[in-house]
Structure 1
Amino acid sequence: MIAGLAALARHGRLMLVLGLALGGLVPPLAGALAPWIFEMIALLLFLAALRVDLRAAFPGRRSLPRYLAITLLMQLALPVTAILLLWALGASATVLGIGIVLVLAAPPLTGSPGLTILAGGDPTPALRQLVLGTALLPLTVLPVFWLLPVFGAPGVVAEAALRLLGVIVLAGGAGVILRARLSWIRRTEGQGAVDGLMTLAMAAVVVGLMSAVGPAMLAPTPVFWITLAAVFALNFGAQAVALLLTRRRVPRDAPALAIIAGNRNLALFLGALPPETAAAMLLFVGLYQVPMYLTPLVMAPVIRRFARMSWRPSAGPD
């Protein structure tokens, strides 16, 4: 069984593409998994904490202010700016507008270090931003939730933020404790098994997130095509802008920062949204998975060319 899980981890890209295809082509399976999305996201947080040595992943004293500034820019300044712009355009209450804001407010995708490796970059900055961004999410999301029209009353905002905090603390804390207690998990064999479980969980999440995409593919409407174009533009646009802005200032970190700029853990918010809003968001969230899992294929040539010019692997933790 352990060897089988390790084999799954080695074929992670294939498993994720398979999950993407199953979710779109087998709507009954996607529909059966859709109600469990939030629980599966919590499982992914648990497995990520089980897999990662947080002491090595957390930024050092010298680099902490820079990582903190990036987190506040990506998870607070950008979504608040987007809300103000969408409000001026009269689109802040639309599904597309809400989706854009939630993407910008979300922490990096749990699999962003792996995506960075597949794209040819140093995964260390992505891992550190993932840890810091997820830890600070209950704080950075408060003003975003307060400004979003779907939440309304301050009590609803506080309740949504507390749900997120509870999931992060319980799932992440359980993973940290179990990793500290079981030395086998920290060995190569244990890490391979956890990687295999993460691959399975990510594939299952993708299937569930595609529950609204399959039916929409059978009879695509203008909303479907507009949403698909928007998620591609948002994902790859954010990656391109981040790469251009960071390639000279922090060339070693630029590939990872580009990956995390566009690939966010949007699904984490599904359990915090009002039920009717979460249901309406499923098409946006499902379609957003497509550019995320195409990132290694699309961005790898760009990042590898950039890497040959200016990036060198990290010599060690800051």
Structure 2
Amino acid sequence: MLIPVLAGASTHARICLIAGLASGLLLPGLAAALVPWLPQMVAALLTITALRIGHRAAMGAVGDLRWGLVAVAILQMVLPLAAIGLLTLFGLQDTPAALAIVLTAAAPAITGSVNLALLLGLDAGRMMQILVLGTAAFPLTVLPVLAVLPQAGEPQLVIYSALRLLAVIVVATGTGFALRAWLFPHPTARQTQALDGASVLAFSFIVVGLMAALNPALRDNPWAVLNWALLAFAVSYLLQLATLGSLRRTALRHLAGPLALGAGNRNIAIFLVALPPEVLAPLMIFIGCWQLPMYLTPMLLPQLYRWALQDE
């Protein structure tokens, strides 16, 4: 009974994503109840993603270290450091918007990026590798970013947060890999579809809690929500456009799609297990708005990806 339900979720992934967004907006009581559990839900989503990927994909990622680590370093360390420098130049480094931009640029690809890749017809295997490498390297790439970010706090807090996040990643992904080896060492096509469905459902469920701040904010200050939403769409879609545009005529053209998807769909929610609540409190509306461009990417940007990756 469960496998057909999960397979159905995989088949109707777009509907599940939209349902998650709608639930976050229309069910404020449920969204608020899920907020205290967001760190645990993020860890659970990492476990489900590792279960879907399996350790073999992780080893495949290790085999692609030459291009993968360079890409991860640029996307998760060079880019946010450059953003801090530019924002400091204009005296904006202490603003909530600056914190949102920098943390977004420093985060790895969202755990649901594999599902987004499948929905866009991109190479899901490459997307898995980018996800694995980016998430594994995150505790290292984020340290220099948090060290120069004014809002991050004392260096001891930065080191503690990175170590705590590394522990969460190791435990969550290790559990997922172990479950995969035990339960699905050689999954059938039907089982793979069911695992995709489980990932889609978890991805769709967590967005309900992530959007908890949006419903009251829409009632109290809709213009602030609009501004945060415009920032979210601009950051996400400009990063995807810039990555596609810069790679589509290079030797890395075959990686342009997954890298662009990873660049513009970042797991800022991972900071919920890395930074104290008081640091992230000003960003909860943005975190809710950030889900909109990500979850709508398969619906709004397929033409962009087809244009960028079409045969010359």
TM-score by length of structure 2 reads: 0.93
Cα distance in structure 1, aligned partners of 2:32 and 2:10 = 25
Aligned residue pair count: 310
Match runs of 1:96-175 below 5 Å: 96-175=97-176
1:288 maps to 2:290: yes
Counterpart amino acid of residue 56 in structure 2: R
Cα distance in structure 1, aligned partners of 2:275 and 2:56 = 32
Match runs of 1:243-254 below 5 Å: 243-249=244-250, 250-254=252-256
SS in structure 2 of the partner of residue 276 of structure 1: helix
Q: Which whole-Å deviations, capped at 9, do the CAs of 1:167-218 have from their partners, x for residues lacking one? A: 1000001111121222467333433333232222112210000001111222
Cα distance in structure 2, aligned partners of 1:221 and 1:67 = 40
1:279 maps to 2:281: yes
Counterpart amino acid of residue 275 in structure 1: P
SS in structure 1 of the partner of residue 225 of structure 2: helix
Q: Which whole-Å deviations, capped at 9, do the CAs of 1:207-234 have from their partners, x for residues lacking one? A: 0000011112224343222211111110
Which residue of structure 2 aligns with residue 202 of structure 1?
Answer: 203
Greater shift, 11-20 or 196-205, is seen at 196-205
Counterpart amino acid of residue 52 in structure 2: R
Distance 1:132 1:196, change over 3 A: same
* C-alpha displacement of 1:279: 2.4
1:227 maps to 2:223: no
Cα distance in structure 2, aligned partners of 1:283 and 1:186 = 39
Which residue of structure 1 aligns with residue 240 of structure 2?
Answer: 239
Q: Give the one of 294, 298, 301 matched to 2:300.
A: 298
Report if the CA contact (8 A) 2:54-2:181 is conserved.
no
Distance 1:47 1:61, change over 3 A: closer
Which residue of structure 1 aligns with residue 213 of structure 2?
Answer: 212
* C-alpha displacement of 1:162: 1.1
Q: Which whole-Å deviations, capped at 9, do the CAs of 1:28-85 have from their partners, x for residues lacking one? A: 1110111111111111110111111332354467742111100000000011111122
Question: Which blocks of at least 5 consecutive residues in structure 1 are unaligned?
Answer: 311-318
Which residue of structure 2 aligns with residue 31 of structure 1?
Answer: 32
Cα distance in structure 2, aligned partners of 1:237 and 1:48 = 26
SS in structure 2 of the partner of residue 241 of structure 1: helix
Which residue of structure 2 aligns with residue 316 of structure 1?
Answer: none
* C-alpha displacement of 1:307: 3.0
Which residue of structure 2 aligns with residue 79 of structure 1?
Answer: 80
Report if the CA contact (8 A) 1:115-1:296 is conserved.
yes
Distance 1:302 1:104, change over 3 A: same
Report if the CA contact (8 A) 2:48-2:199 is conserved.
yes
Question: Which blocks of at least 5 consecutive residues in structure 2 are unaligned?
Answer: none
Cα distance in structure 2, aligned partners of 1:15 and 1:43 = 18
Cα distance in structure 2, aligned partners of 1:33 and 1:48 = 20
Report if the CA contact (8 A) 1:121-1:307 is conserved.
no
Cα distance in structure 1, aligned partners of 2:62 and 2:119 = 29
SS in structure 2 of the partner of residue 52 of structure 1: helix
Cα distance in structure 1, aligned partners of 2:62 and 2:216 = 50
Greater shift, 34-43 or 52-61, is seen at 52-61
Counterpart amino acid of residue 55 in structure 1: R
Which residue of structure 1 aligns with residue 178 of structure 2?
Answer: 177
Report if the CA contact (8 A) 1:246-1:254 is conserved.
yes
Counterpart amino acid of residue 126 in structure 1: M
Cα distance in structure 1, aligned partners of 2:166 and 2:8 = 34
Which residue of structure 2 aligns with residue 313 of structure 1?
Answer: none
* C-alpha displacement of 1:137: 0.6
Which residue of structure 1 aligns with residue 267 of structure 2?
Answer: 265
SS in structure 1 of the partner of residue 150 of structure 2: coil
User: CA RMSD for the aligned pairs?
Assistant: 1.8
Cα distance in structure 2, aligned partners of 1:173 and 1:273 = 22
Cα distance in structure 2, aligned partners of 1:197 and 1:119 = 19
Cα distance in structure 2, aligned partners of 1:128 and 1:61 = 8
Report if the CA contact (8 A) 1:58-1:131 is conserved.
no
Greater shift, 199-208 or 273-282, is seen at 273-282
Which residue of structure 2 aligns with residue 314 of structure 1?
Answer: none
Report if the CA contact (8 A) 1:20-1:290 is conserved.
yes
Cα distance in structure 1, aligned partners of 2:3 and 2:64 = 37
Cα distance in structure 2, aligned partners of 1:68 and 1:183 = 29
